[in-house]
Amino acid sequence: MASEIYQSKTTVYVLACWILAAFGGLMFGYDIGISGGVSGMDDFLIKFFPKVHERKLRAVEDNYCKYDDQMLQLFTSSLYLAALVASFFASKLCTVLGRKPTILLASTFFLAGAGFSAGAENKAMLILGRILFGIGVGFGNEAVPVFLSEIAPVQHRGAVNILFQLFVTIGIFIANLVNYSTSTLHPYGWRVSLGLAAVPGLVLFFGSMILTETPSNLTERGKDAEAKAALKRIRGVDNVDSEYEEIKRACDAAKEFKQPFKKLMTRESRPPLIIAIMMQVFQQFTGINAIMFYAPVLFQTMGFKNNASLLSAVITGIVNVASTFVSIYSVDKIGRRKLLLQACVQMFICQTAIGVILFVDLKPTGTMGSGMAALVVVLVCLYVMCFAWSWGPLGWLIPSETFPVETRTAGFAFAVSSNMLMTFVIAQSFLSMLCHMRAFIFFFFSAWILAMGIFVVFLLPETKGVPIDSITERVWKQHPVWKKFMDEHDDSKSREMA
C-alpha cells in the first residue's frame, strides 16, 4: 500500500496549511450564498433594480416570474464569467510562480471586490465589484484544490482536498446567517452583507504568507533542495526519500513537455480532460447552484415571507455543512464512485418529487399550503445533503488528482473554467428558466442527474488510494475504456510534438 511506503505525521503546521488554504473555498462559498440573499432584499432592489421591486410587490404577479430580470441575474453571474477567464491566467501563474503566490493574488482581488461591492452607488460599480470577486474566485479555485492535493499524504488526499468544499459550504452557511441578520438593517443591510466578504479574504491574505510551496511545484521549477525540505516539513518526518523520488520522476518526465496546453490536446490527455470537464458540467446541472444562489428567492416563490425564506436558506446551509463531513470521513474508505452513484439516486428522487409538488400545488398566483411548502424544504435538504457528500466535493477532488504533473495546472484550469462557465449559464438563466419552464425546470435537472449516473458507471475510474503521480500507470492504463488512449505510440508521438 502507498500509505505504508510514504511515511507521514499530521503536524500542527500541516493542519494550519490545510485549513488556511481552504479559506479560498470559504471565499467562494460566501459569495455563492450572499448574492441570492442580497438579491431578495428590498433596499438593494429599490436602489439598483426598482422594476423588479415593483413586480415583487404586485400580489397578482406570476409566482414563477417576479424575479425574472437579466440585469439582476447578471449581478450574480458576472462573477463566474470573470472567474472563467481568470482561471487560465491562474494556471500559468500556478506553474511559473507557484501555488502559494497565486493564492495570495486570489485574496487580493477578493478584497478589492468586497470594497467595490459594499461601496457601490450604481450598477457599474456593483458589476465591477463582482468582476473583481470573480478574478479572485478564478485564481483561488485554480490554486487551492491543486495545492491541497499536492501536499496531502495519499491515504488522506480525498479528505484533505474535500476541506475546500467543506469551507465552500461553511461560506454559504455564514452568508445565509449574515443575510438573515442584515435583512432588517435598513437601508444598508446589503452593503454589510457584501462588505463582510473581506473577512475570509483577509484570513486567506495573511494565511497564504505562512503556507509552504508544494514539493511538486518546487521540483518542477528546479528547486530540488527546497522541494525536499518542504516535503519533510509537510510530512513531519525525515524519511521522505521514496516519495520524493516519485515526485522527481514525474517532474523530470514533465520537463519534456514545454507546452502543457498543447499536450492537453494529445490523445493520451483526453481521458483526464474529458473527466475533468464533464465533472464540472454535471456538478452544475444537478441544479445545486440554482438552489444555493436563489434559495431565498425560491422559497419566496413558494409563499414564504422574506425572513422565513432566509431562515429556510439557513437550514439548507446547516445541512450542507454537516453532510460534507460525511464525505471527508468516507471518501478514502469507500471510494469516489460509490458516493457519486448513491447521490445520483437520491438527487433524482428529490428533484423529481419537488417538480411534481410544484406542478400540482404552486399555481401562477397565490401560495402553496404550508404543509406542501414544508415538504419542499425537506426535499431540498435531502437533495443538498447527498450533493454535499458527493458531486460537490468530488467535482473538485477528482480533476485535481487525475492529471499528470506536466498538465496538472493546465488541465485543472479547464476544469475551473468549465465550472465557471456552467455556473454562469445557470446563474444567468435560472430565474428566466423558472419563469418559462415553471415546475418542469426540476424535471430538466432530473434528466441530467440520470445522465450523470450512466457516465459514472461506464467512464469514471476509481482513484481511491492511488498516489497522485501514479494515476496514469495505475488508473488510466488499466481502465477498460480509457486504456485505448494511453498506448506507447501516441505517447512517443506527443513527446516529439512537445
Condensed to tens digits (0 to 9), the pLDDT of residues 210-222 reads 999 999 999 989 8
Instruction: Dihedral sign for Cα 144, 152, 174, 56, please.
Output: positive
State the DSSP H helix or E strand holding residue 240, giving kind and residue range, or none if neither. none
Can you tell me the distance from the alpha carbon of 383 to that of 37, in angstroms, rounded to the nearest whole number? 20
404 burial via Cβ count (<10 Å: 0-12, 13-18, 19+): buried
Can you tell me the distance from the alpha carbon of 264 to that of 469, in angstroms, rounded to the nearest whole number? 17
Backbone φ and ψ for 40, nearest 5 degrees, come out as -95, -5
Can you tell me the distance from the alpha carbon of 103 to that of 415, in angstroms, rounded to the nearest whole number? 17
CA distances to 190, 288, 337, 420, 452 from 383, rounded to whole Å, are 28, 9, 18, 22, 15
Q: Going by C-beta distance under 8 Å and a sequence separation of 6 or more, which residues neighbour residue 203?
A: 20, 23, 26
CA 464 from centre of chain: 20
What is the reported pLDDT for 494? 46
- Confidence check: pLDDT of 488 > 60: no
- Confidence check: pLDDT of 15 > 50: yes
Polymer length of the chain: 498
Retrieve residue 315's grid coordinates. 437550514
What percentage of the chain exceeds 90 in pLDDT? 50
What percentage of the chain exceeds 70 in pLDDT? 88
Backbone φ and ψ for 348, nearest 5 degrees, come out as -60, -45
What is the reported pLDDT for 325? 93
Indicate the pLDDT class of residue 25, thresholds 50, 70 and 90. very high
Closest CA to 84 of 135, 132, 22, 33: 135
Closest CA to 138 of 424, 428, 429: 424
Neighbours of 445 (CB within 10 A): 25
Indicate the pLDDT class of residue 493, thresholds 50, 70 and 90. very low
CA distances to 103, 109, 220, 281, 387 from 391, rounded to whole Å, are 24, 28, 31, 11, 5
Q: Report yes or no: 461 and 486 within 8 Å, Cβ to Cβ.
A: no
CA distances to 281, 346, 415 from 276, rounded to whole Å, are 9, 23, 5
What is the reported pLDDT for 54? 82
Can you tell me the distance from the alpha carbon of 317 to that of 324, in angstroms, rounded to the nearest whole number? 11
Indicate the pLDDT class of residue 250, thresholds 50, 70 and 90. confident
For all residues of the chain together, what is the average pLDDT?
Answer: 86
State the DSSP H helix or E strand holding residue 33, giving kind and residue range, or none if neither. helix 12-39
- DSSP-based three-state secondary structure for 352: helix
Question: What would you measure as the largest C-alpha separation in the chain, in angstroms?
Answer: 72
User: What radius of gyration, in Å, describes the C-alpha atoms of the chain?
Assistant: 23
Neighbours of 479 (CB within 10 A): 16
What is the reported pLDDT for 2? 41
- Confidence check: pLDDT of 194 > 60: yes
pTM for the predicted model, two decimal places: 0.80
Can you tell me the distance from the alpha carbon of 138 to that of 148, in angstroms, rounded to the nearest whole number? 16
* pLDDT, tens only, 340-363: 999 999 999 999 998 898 888 876
Angle between helices 123-151 and 408-437 (to 10 degrees): 130
How is 106-152 classified by DSSP, letter by letter? HHHHHHHHHHHHHT--SHHHHHHHHHHHHHHHHHHHHHHHHHHHHHS
What is the reported pLDDT for 492? 45
Retrieve residue 451's grid coordinates. 445522465
Q: Report yes or no: 35 and 76 within 8 Å, Cβ to Cβ.
A: yes
CA 210 from centre of chain: 24
Can you tell me the distance from the alpha carbon of 305 to that of 367, in angstroms, rounded to the nearest whole number? 11
* pLDDT, tens only, 59-116: 455 666 766 677 777 787 888 889 999 998 999 999 899 999 999 999 999 999 999 9
Of the given ranges (335-344, 465-474, 485-494), which has the lowest mean pLDDT? 485-494
- Confidence check: pLDDT of 300 > 70: no
